[in-house]
Amino acid sequence: EDKEDESKEEDNGSQQNRASRRKNYQRKNRDGKKAREEGSQKQDRGKTAPNKDQKVSENKEKKTTKRGKEGENKEKKDRKNSTSSASSNSSDEESLSEEELAMLKEQVEQKKKLISTMRNKPWRMVKKLSVLREAQDFVEKFEGALGKGKGKKLYAYKMMMAKKWVKFKRDFENFKTQCIPWEMKIKEVESHFGSSVASYFIFLRWMYGVNLVLFGLIFGLVIIPEVLMGMPYGSLPRKTVPRAEQATAMDFSVLWDFEGYIKYSALFYGYYNNQRTIGWLKYRLPMAYFMVGISVFGYSLMVVIRSMARNANESTADGDDDNFIFSWKMFTSWDYLIGNPETADNKFASITTSFKESIVDEQESNKDENIHLRRFLRVLANVLIICCLCGSGYLIYFVVKRSQTFSKMQNVGWYERNEVEIVMSLLGMFCPPLFETIAALENYHPRIGLKWQLGRIFALFLGNLYTFLLALMDDVNEKLAEEDVVKNITHWTLLGHYNSSAGNDSTVTPPPLDPADVPRGPCWETTVGIEFMRLTVSDILVTYITILVGDFIRACFVRFVNYCWCWDLEAGFPSYAEFDISGNVLGLVFNQGMIWMGSFYAPGLVGINVLRLLTSMYFQCWAVMSSNVPHARVFKASKSNNFYMGLVLLILFLSLLPVAYTIMSLPPSFDCGPFSGKKRMYDVIQETIELDFPLFVAKIFSYVANPGLIIPAILLMVLTIYYLNAVSKAYQRANAELKKKMQMQREEEKNKRNNKDSTNPMLQDLEDLLTPSTKMESPPKQAEDKKTESLDGTSSVRKPGRGDALAGSPLASGRGAAFAPIIPPSHVFVAQPRTLGIRVPYPGQPRPWGHPLAPVPGRGRGQPCH
């Protein structure tokens, strides 16, 4: 804003200069013209010239209103006068010269800028409204006058369209904010539990948005085309339930395991046909399937990185700056969102403790008598947790192995079939609280504790997930081996069938084998998809049941049994549950990881996830409001949003790996899925390029895919990364350097203040050095200097809204700190008369527009024109 002001000021100056130049020009013109014309011109000039000047001065006045408040009333009157009189002679606007037009345009632009930044001004609403109205009137009145003849019409049209566009944009903005769901719900949670709990719900909402887009992609481009245009159910072996399973295919217990009819539906990979094009649209389904699978990852990566970058941009402040510990505690620790007495009590308590902690830290910064004990406890805690992690990993591996033997046996029970999911969910349920108990040994600050907790649970989930994947991989490899056998059998069966029918009667085409009877391969892709589907569903159920039992039932019990119990349940042992931020965030993140991994093999998975997020928004909001209590130590997980995003990015990358591996290196099943019959899944791209594109595209593609090109490209990227990294490091260093300098400067200042009597010789020297240099510099760019100085001068009178005088880079602030005391104050006073002069141009005279003033009022007043 500082700069803006400056530039405006400059504009003003140049306008004034121009105005006087224009007058000179007009005078010359007039001299050279005939008397007849002269008369009219005189009249004309008499009317327009003060017009202009008035506008200029009016503009100036506006500027000064920002600074001083004393002259406000008078100015307002003045302005009113001028606008009312201005409207009376609008007919004169027809006869504006080019220069005037340009000037007018500039002013109109300025006003428009003012209108658009009105909301950023720290004024009272009344003032904002009146200034706004005036600026709008001005724009309204004068923008029509711009342009002539045809141009005028065009201009007016353009203006009209611009206005319409602004209105449309505003409506659209209104519409958009109306479409943001759950604003009130989140607000309610926020006011009860503070911003850290709300950040979970905001994250959940963001996740929902991302999943909605993925859902649109997958459903719009894969599932719906397949359902509408693909071959119907029962037409092909892969689209039919095998004869042996048909009897139970509709049983609920079978469907619940995603077998039976669900397994042979468009929700899973195996259902899709490898036909190149489907329907009358010639829709290339296999190609679309592949591209959608890739773009799911592409879009997610893009969205995550973009929002991370935006978050990073927003938080320009680096939290590691420990210069302002107490100041920040004082001015930013109260969370204005809190609107609940209980939370407020907790917040007061936590602020008090944090103040006390800092005071203690300050008084005895490195005195810790129990450092050895604490270290020992922390190491012990970590050892325990690593043991837990290893144990859970082994347990999962063991269970998955066991489930493979179960799957070969017939009629196993419900528990055996779902053992993997149950064990994984139970681990996810009991390990985090266990970790939390262990973490109590470590005695970290809750914010650091939360990070550790998150990291540990992350490791647990990740270990579990990857153990699961490894075991699944074993399974897949087994299936692949099995497939080779089945492939032969199928081949021979079909051959035998045709041969046998051909042997009977060679002229009649053999009746095709019923698709339900054809022997099938195991179709490992669908198996993987089903595994993920089941994992997701069981995860949802466990989450909901945990909330219901762990939070709601517990809350009910505590609330109602408390009347007849021997100790105080609410304050004592069970009490109410706190909302577990870390666990919930990680649950969400890992769930998303499973969705990303599974969505390639089970396109329907995203649909289920959308439903899950939708319900969990309502369910968790209800649960948190009804049965949780605010945290005992309400703290803000600062910059946690980027922390969550970092987790999401990590999990996205980790879930990309197995999918990419299977796509690149495993052969697709021979009898199911859109890529059957190909050696590798990505062959579909090559096929499309060869068959559907002209030859040269294929050639270009082959060149591009050449390792000779790819390796240099990667090299280039690596080099770029290296370079950018080096640059950012250099900036950081410079930053640190400047910070240090500033610190030194301050120390010096302090010293100087402390021993005022003994003048610091070095500073004196510095002052002597600096003062003449600034003076020497000033004559050539006097105007500019004056401008900045006038700004300084006004700021010392405290102009509201000069928000970031010291904002931005530490360079600027460093300079401000360095020069502020050194520049002699006389410079500041140089500017003072000028601003005063502008503010009170001709105190007594309310200049009406119609009457020409003999001396041009604006000319000699402001700064000297050159």
Partner 1 sequence: MGNKQTIFTQEQLDAYQDCTFFTRKEILRLFHRYRDLAPQLVPLDYSASPAVTLPYELIGSMPELKDNPFRQRIAEVFSEHGDGNMTLDDFLDMFSVLSEMAPRDLKAYYAFKIYDFNNDDYICKSDLEKTVNKLTRNELTPEEVSLVCEKVIYEADVDNDGKLSLADFQHMIIRAPDFLSTFHIRI
Site for partner 1 in 60-119 (CB under 8 A): 115-116, 118-119
Q: Residues 721, 727, 732, CA angle at the centre, nearest 5°?
A: 125
Q: Which of 91, 313, 327, 506 binds partner 1 (CB under 8 A)?
A: 327
Q: Does 338 bind partner 1 (CB under 8 A)?
A: yes
Q: By rule CB under 8 A, what string of x and - marks binding of each residue 380-419 to partner 1?
A: ----------------------------------------
Q: By rule CB under 8 A, what string of x and - marks binding of each residue 475-504 to partner 1?
A: ------------------------------
Q: Does 254 bind partner 1 (CB under 8 A)?
A: no
CB of 73 to partner 1, least distance (A): 15
CB of 42 to partner 1, least distance (A): 41
| Choices 122-130, 230-238, 435-443, 512-520 (CB under 8 A): range interacting with partner 1 | 122-130
Q: Which of 317, 481, 541, 718 binds partner 1 (CB under 8 A)?
A: 317
CB of 63 to partner 1, least distance (A): 18
CB of 730 to partner 1, least distance (A): 21
Q: How many CB atoms lie within 10 A of CB 509?
A: 10
Q: Does 795 bind partner 1 (CB under 8 A)?
A: yes
Residue closer to partner 1 by CB (options 220, 816) is 816
Q: Does 807 bind partner 1 (CB under 8 A)?
A: yes
Residue closer to partner 1 by CB (options 72, 568) is 72
Report the C-alpha gap between 328 and 638 in whole angstroms.
13
CB of 801 to partner 1, least distance (A): 7
Which residue intervals of 340-418 are DSSP H helices? 341-363, 371-408, 414-417
Report the C-alpha gap between 853 and 705 in whole angstroms.
78
Considering only residues 582 to 621 of the shown chain, the ones binding partner 1 according to CB under 8 A are none
Considering only residues 762 to 781 of the shown chain, the ones binding partner 1 according to CB under 8 A are none
Residue closer to partner 1 by CB (options 172, 376) is 172
| Choices 400-408, 520-528, 564-572, 743-751 (CB under 8 A): range interacting with partner 1 | 743-751
Residue closer to partner 1 by CB (options 496, 803) is 803
CB of 88 to partner 1, least distance (A): 23
Paired with 283 in beta bridges are 278
User: Which residue's entry shows tokens 């000047």?
Assistant: 53
Residue closer to partner 1 by CB (options 408, 756) is 756
Residue closer to partner 1 by CB (options 357, 768) is 357
**Type and span of the H or E element at 628:** strand 628-629
Residue closer to partner 1 by CB (options 285, 828) is 828
Considering only residues 624 to 663 of the shown chain, the ones binding partner 1 according to CB under 8 A are 636, 638-639
Instruction: Please check whether residue 517 is in contact with residue 589, taking contact to mean a CB–CB distance below 8 angstroms.
Output: no
Burial pattern 95-128, b for ≥16 Cβ within 10 A else e, equals: ebeeebbebbbebbebbbebbeeeeebebeeeee
Q: Which of 182, 283, 299, 328 binds partner 1 (CB under 8 A)?
A: 328
Q: Which of 83, 340, 404, 735 binds partner 1 (CB under 8 A)?
A: 340
Burial pattern 673-690, b for ≥16 Cβ within 10 A else e, equals: bbbbebeebeebbeebbe
CB of 803 to partner 1, least distance (A): 2
Q: Does 42 bind partner 1 (CB under 8 A)?
A: no
In the numeric block, which tokens belong to residue 477? Answer: 């490899």
SS3 content of the chain, % helix, strand, coil (to 5): 75, 0, 25
CB of 635 to partner 1, least distance (A): 10
Q: Does 331 bind partner 1 (CB under 8 A)?
A: yes
Residue closer to partner 1 by CB (options 87, 97) is 87
Q: Which of 298, 816, 837, 860 binds partner 1 (CB under 8 A)?
A: 816
Q: Which residues contact 262 (CB under 8 A, 6 or more apart)?
A: 255, 268
CB of 580 to partner 1, least distance (A): 21
Residue closer to partner 1 by CB (options 320, 369) is 320
Start-to-end Cα distance in the chain: 28
In the numeric block, which tokens belong to residue 117? Answer: 């930044």
Which residue intervals of 89-124 are DSSP H helices? 98-116
Residue closer to partner 1 by CB (options 164, 356) is 356
Q: Which of 344, 422, 513, 698 binds partner 1 (CB under 8 A)?
A: 344
CB of 67 to partner 1, least distance (A): 14
The DSSP bridge pattern shows strands 577-578 and 628-629 to be parallel
DSSP single-letter state for residue 577: E
Q: Which of 29, 275, 760, 813 binds partner 1 (CB under 8 A)?
A: 813
Report the C-alpha gap between 110 and 118 in whole angstroms.
12
Residue closer to partner 1 by CB (options 36, 119) is 119
Phi, psi dihedrals of residue 230, rounded to the nearest 5°: -75, 175
Q: Which of 36, 73, 98, 125 binds partner 1 (CB under 8 A)?
A: 125
Residue closer to partner 1 by CB (options 180, 730) is 180
Nearest to 293 by CA among 711, 732, 663: 663
Q: How far, CA to CA in Å, does 659 sit from each of 396, 528, 598, 600, 796?
A: 21, 11, 8, 8, 63
Report the C-alpha gap between 29 and 113 in whole angstroms.
35
For 581, the 3-state DSSP assignment is helix
Q: Does 756 bind partner 1 (CB under 8 A)?
A: no
CB of 329 to partner 1, least distance (A): 8
Nearest to 299 by CA among 568, 705, 596: 596
Q: Does 336 bind partner 1 (CB under 8 A)?
A: yes
Q: Which residues contact 742 (CB under 8 A, 6 or more apart)?
A: 810, 813, 814, 817
CB of 361 to partner 1, least distance (A): 11
Q: How far, CA to CA in Å, does 69 sit from each of 61, 75, 376, 794, 839?
A: 11, 10, 65, 12, 11
Report the C-alpha gap between 286 and 284 in whole angstroms.
6
Q: What is the 3-state secondary structure (H, E, C) of 749-804?
A: HHHHHHCCCCCCHHHHHHHHHHHHHHHHHCCCCHHHHHHHHHHHHHHHCCCCCCCC
Report the C-alpha gap between 224 and 229 in whole angstroms.
8
CB of 788 to partner 1, least distance (A): 15
Q: How many CB atoms lie within 10 A of CB 40?
A: 11
CB of 136 to partner 1, least distance (A): 8
| Choices 83-91, 141-149, 231-239, 322-330 (CB under 8 A): range interacting with partner 1 | 322-330
CB of 805 to partner 1, least distance (A): 5
In the numeric block, which tokens belong to residue 595? Answer: 């969705």
Considering only residues 1 to 30 of the shown chain, the ones binding partner 1 according to CB under 8 A are 1
Q: Does 308 bind partner 1 (CB under 8 A)?
A: no
CB of 61 to partner 1, least distance (A): 20
Q: Residues binding partner 1: what is the number (CB under 8 A)?
A: 81
Residue closer to partner 1 by CB (options 704, 807) is 807
Q: Which of 367, 408, 750, 756 binds partner 1 (CB under 8 A)?
A: 750
In the numeric block, which tokens belong to residue 431? Answer: 């390990």
Residue closer to partner 1 by CB (options 324, 703) is 324
Considering only residues 133 to 192 of the shown chain, the ones binding partner 1 according to CB under 8 A are 133, 170-171, 173-175, 177-178, 183, 186-187, 190-191
